[in-house]
Structure 1
Amino acid sequence: MRIVRATETRRTETPAAVMTTLASPTLGEAAQPVWKVEAAPGAPGPVHGIDADQVWSLIAGSVEVTVETESATLTAGDTIIVPAGAERRFAAGPDGFTALVTGPAGMHAFMPADPEKKIDLAWAA
C-alpha cells in the first residue's frame, strides 16, 4: 500500500491553470498519473495536443472544451475523453473550474505550430 499525503503533492503553475500531482510514477510510484487542474474564472488555455488519450472529470465549475472542430460546455460531474493527438483547448467558465485528469505515464504535449517538439508534463511525471 502506498499513501500520498496532501503535504506531499506537487504544484505546477502555468499561465492557464495550476496542476497538482496527486499520484504519478515519481510520486507514490503510481503506474498512471492523476492530477487536479484548477483554472481561474475565464482563464483560456492554449490550443495544444497530447500524444495520448486523457480522461478529464470536472468536479467544480464549468469549462468550454474544443477538441478539433467540436465544442462542448462541461459542468461538475461531466467527464470527457480526449483522444491522442487531437488539438484541444480548455477555457474556464465564469466561476473557473476544477478537474481530475489522468492519462498514461510518459505522455507529452505539443503545440500545433511545432508538433514534433515534445513538451514534458511535469505534473504527470
Structure 2
Amino acid sequence: MPVLSRDNAPTFNLPGICFTTLSSPSRGARENAVWEVTIAPGVSGAPHRLTREETFVALSGSAMVELDGQRFDLVAGSTLVVDAGQILSVSNVGTEPFRALAVLPVGGQAVVGDRPAFTPPWAA
C-alpha cells in the first residue's frame, strides 16, 4: 500500500515523549521505518545507540542533542545524521514541544546501556 494514513498510525508514549509510526514493516514498508517524535518541554532523552544510521529532520521547536559527548542544537529545518554506534540523547530544554521526523533502516535496533539490542516498537 503506497499511501498510509496518519489517522490509524500506531502511537507509542514514554513519559513526555510520543512516537507516531508513519511507515514501518508492520505498516508495509520494506526498507525504512519513519516516525514522528514529539518531546515535551523539559524532557531529557535517555542515552542510547543504534545499530544502523538514523536521520532526524527537525520540524518545530528545538532540542539539545548530545552525540558522543558533543552537544548540538537541533532547530526546525535542520537535519541530524547519527552514525551507527554513536551514543545519542535528544532533550527538549525549550519552552515548546520539539517535533521531528526520524528515519531508521528496517532491521536497525536500539541499544540502551548494556541491555540487548531491540527493535523499538515504533520502528517494527
Partner AA of 2:123 in structure 1 = A
Q: Distance in 2 between matches of 1:2 and 1:99?
A: 22
Instruction: Give the structure with the larger strand fraction.
Output: 1
What percent identity do the matched residue pairs reach? 29
TM-score (norm 2): 0.92
SS at match of 2:81: strand
Partner AA of 1:6 in structure 2 = R
Correspondence list, 1:13-52, <5 A: 13-52=13-52
Q: CA deviation at 1:108?
A: 1.1
Correspondence list, 1:1-125, <5 A: 2-94=2-94, 95-112=96-113, 114=114, 117-125=116-124
Aligned residues: 123
TM-score (norm 1): 0.91
* Structure 1 outlier segments of 4+, above 6 Å: none
Q: Distance in 2 between matches of 1:6 and 1:99?
A: 15
Partner AA of 2:31 in structure 1 = A
SS at match of 2:71: strand
Q: Deviations over 1:11-36 (max 9, x none)?
A: 01123411000011111334211100
